[in-house]
């Protein structure tokens, strides 16, 4: 009987440990192998050390996925809309997103540049804003996944752009629509 309990205990520990994320070296940062997934929507990102998924709505009430690195003042959020609800293509979606954000923030956005977010087609705009007495630089990606159009925002303090851009782009490029 003791042997059976011992075997069950070992199996339980192995099962528990197998659920933990494996870490791989990525420069001087460590990246989680598994995607960190939103509790409320089918999206995920790979997180680097210092990053965490925040509760939906902590950064923006309309977000579907939020991640922060508070120690380095870096932020990411995704706001997604089902493609089946929209009778437009990615370029039209981008134009709506740019107009809406220029109006909302009261600043012009840079010219949109075609790019990729992981394997997804996207456009990126950049802009600077001052909010709550902080000067920030933002990247806005208009992205098309298999089933969604979305806005991906990445931002940091103006003084941190040079040091933070690579890590923010790694987070953005790890964005994925999860398959059911």
- CB 156, CB 168: distance < 8 Å: yes
Q: Decide if pLDDT at 29 tops 70.
A: no
What integer pLDDT is reported at residue 156 of this predicted model? 96
Tens digits of per-residue pLDDT, 114-165?
999 999 999 999 999 998 899 999 999 999 999 999 999 999 999 999 999 9
Angle formed at CA 153 by CA 150 and CA 68, multiple of 5 degrees: 120
pTM of the model: 0.78
Q: Residues 171-178: what's their mean pLDDT?
A: 93
Q: Residues 59-87: what's their mean pLDDT?
A: 92
- CB 12, CB 5: distance < 8 Å: no
Q: Decide if pLDDT at 39 tops 70.
A: no
Mean pLDDT lowest among 25-34, 72-81, 108-117: 25-34
Element (H, E) at 162: helix 161-173
| CA pair distance 135, 130, nearest whole angstrom | 4
> Which of the four pLDDT bands, split at 50, 70 and 90, describes residue 180?
low
- Looking at domain 34-177, its CATH architecture is 3-Layer(aba) Sandwich (3.40)
> Which of the four pLDDT bands, split at 50, 70 and 90, describes residue 56?
confident
- CB 170, CB 48: distance < 8 Å: yes
């Amino acid at each position: 009987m003791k042997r059976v309990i011992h075997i069950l205990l070992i199996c339980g520990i192995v099962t528990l440990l197998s659920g933990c994320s494996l870490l791989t070296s990525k420069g001087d940062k460590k990246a989680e192998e598994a995607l960190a997934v939103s509790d409320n929507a089918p999206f995920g990102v790979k997180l680097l050390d210092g990053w965490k998924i925040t509760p939906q709505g902590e950064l923006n009430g309309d977000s579907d996925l939020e991640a922060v690195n508070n120690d380095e003042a870096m932020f990411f959020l995704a706001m997604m809309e089902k493609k089946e609800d929209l009778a437009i293509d990615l370029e039209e979606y981008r134009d709506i997103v740019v107009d809406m954000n220029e109006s909302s923030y009261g600043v012009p956005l840079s010219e949109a540049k075609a790019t990729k977010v992981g394997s997804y087609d996207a456009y990126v705009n950049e802009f600077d804003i001052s909010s709550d007495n902080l000067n920030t630089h933002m990247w806005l990606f208009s992205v098309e996944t298999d089933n969604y159009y979305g806005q991906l925002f990445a931002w940091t303090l103006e003084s941190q752009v040079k040091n933070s851009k690579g890590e923010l782009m790694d987070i953005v490029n790890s964005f994925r629509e999860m398959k059911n």
